Amino acid sequence: MEYRDKILALAQTSPLLPTSVAKALATNSIMAGAMLSEMCSKGLLKTSALRVGGSPLYIIPGKEEQLLNYLQSLNEKDRRTVEKLQAEKIIRQTEADPLTQVSLAQVKDFAKPLTVTYENKQETFWKWFSIEDKEAEELIRMKLEGKPIAKKIEQPKIPVEQPKPIEQKTLAPAEKPTGDFWQQTQTFLTKNNITLTEQTTIKKKLEFDLIIELPSPVGKLSYYCKARNKKKITEGDISAAYVQGQIKKLPVIYLTNGELTKQAKEVLAQLKGITIAKV
């Protein structure tokens, strides 16, 4: 979509804040924040642990080195920890003072934990984010007085969902959505005298995009409706629906059988023109 391309182009050269995106796209910071959150939920962007004015920075995965330009936003202790790790490349947990140990766990953008087994004991080392595991292993060997480590470095692998194109299946005139959730959706529409004018299946039996009309004293009002069968509705889900409504220039109804997370409720409180409804 056009706004995603614009935001990704901006993020190629520098981390983003909602205010900078709002200015570049000639919109408000709430809308910009919703766009950024939606892109994070799809893996197109990620947020930093580092905060600038209370807000995380939004970066393209793999461009974490851009955050080095914002070290001044860290407190003095964390900044010195980052500079020390950058110079040494590896810090042994047991050799760091208590404050540095705490700091290393805070500066997650720059310090990555590695667990090694040496002489039947596990130890934690912290590596500079940009060095390869192979180089880190050699540096750890040097710290362990040249003795080979018993096992290879075991680094927790956090799966990162790769961005996937949104697949939408427009229903043919003879084809109808099925499933219990769709029946619940139809019951909700009928019960509230809502007219369904368009329907698109996003995920079979689980997610549907609808255009609906609600009766009002001034006539029928059109809404974009996201109907989703999901236990936990996240801030990314809310932001994505809000952005779609803005694109379609329609108010939004998010119809679900799930519950909103705390973060989703916080985002919802900042947005206008979106309503949550339970089937």
147-177: b (≥16 Cβ within 10 Å) or e: eeeeeebeeeeeeeeeeeeeeeeeeeeeeeb
pLDDT higher for 161 or 250?
A: 250
pLDDT value of position 119:
82
Q: What's the pTM value of the predicted model, to 2 decimals?
A: 0.67
DSSP one-letter string for 38-98: HHHHTTS-EEEEEEETTEEEEE-TT-GGGGGGGGGGS-HHHHHHHHHHHHHSEEEGGGS-H
User: What mean pLDDT is reported for the chain?
Assistant: 87
Q: Kindly state the tokens that stand for 189.
A: 């529409």
pLDDT value of position 21:
95
Confidence check: pLDDT of 159 > 80: no
* Closest C-alpha to 166, from 262, 38, 15, 37: 38
Confidence check: pLDDT of 267 > 80: yes
pLDDT value of position 149:
47
Average of per-residue pLDDT across 243-271: 91
pLDDT value of position 163:
41
CATH number of 71-143: 1.10.10
Confidence of residue 270 (pLDDT cuts 50, 70, 90): confident
Tens-digit pLDDT profile for residues 195-204: 999 999 999 9
pLDDT higher for 165 or 96?
A: 96
Cα separation, 222 vs 224, whole angstroms:
7
Query: Are 20 and 64 spatial neighbours (Cβ–Cβ below 8 Å)?
Result: no
Average of per-residue pLDDT across 31-35: 92
Confidence of residue 175 (pLDDT cuts 50, 70, 90): low
CA angle 25, 27, 29 (to 5 degrees): 110
Tens-digit pLDDT profile for residues 200-227: 999 999 999 999 999 888 889 999 999 9
CATH number of 169-278: 3.40.1350
Question: How far is C-alpha 199 from the geometric centre of its chain's CA atoms?
Answer: 27
Q: Per DSSP, which regions of 119-220 are E strands? A: 121-128, 169-170, 195-203, 207-214
With pLDDT > 90 as the criterion, what percentage of the chain qualifies? 65
Domain boundaries, the chain: 2-61, 71-143, 169-278
Fold of 2-61: Arc Repressor Mutant, subunit A (1.10.10)
71-143 shares the fold of 2-61: yes
